[in-house]
Amino acid sequence: MSGIAIIKSLLRDESGATAIEYGLIASLIVIAMMGALSTFANEANDMFDDIETNVQNARDL
């Protein structure tokens, strides 16, 4: 097989494209999950800070 035939064969081959597409979709899902978990963590920290403040205020009474 000549070099030109190999290059044409590689250009027509689409088997790796599907794997790349699935990889991109999976990475977007992971990025979205990280953003959601980060937001949840910040909200949880704020909630526990409020609880700590309320407990301290109750003790000071």
pTM confidence score: 0.57
Question: Distance between CA 61 and CA 12 in Å, rounded?
Answer: 77
Question: Distance between CA 48 and CA 58 in Å, rounded?
Answer: 15
- Output the pLDDT for position 24: 92
- Output the pLDDT for position 61: 81
Range 39-51 burial, b when 16+ CB lie within 10 A, else e: eeeeeeeeeeeee
Chain segment 2-13, per-residue pLDDT in tens: 788 887 787 777
Q: Report CA Rg, the chain.
A: 27
Chain segment 18-50, per-residue pLDDT in tens: 778 888 999 999 999 999 999 999 999 999 999
Domain boundaries, the chain: 3-60
Q: CA 21, 23, 27, 30 torsion: positive or negative?
A: positive
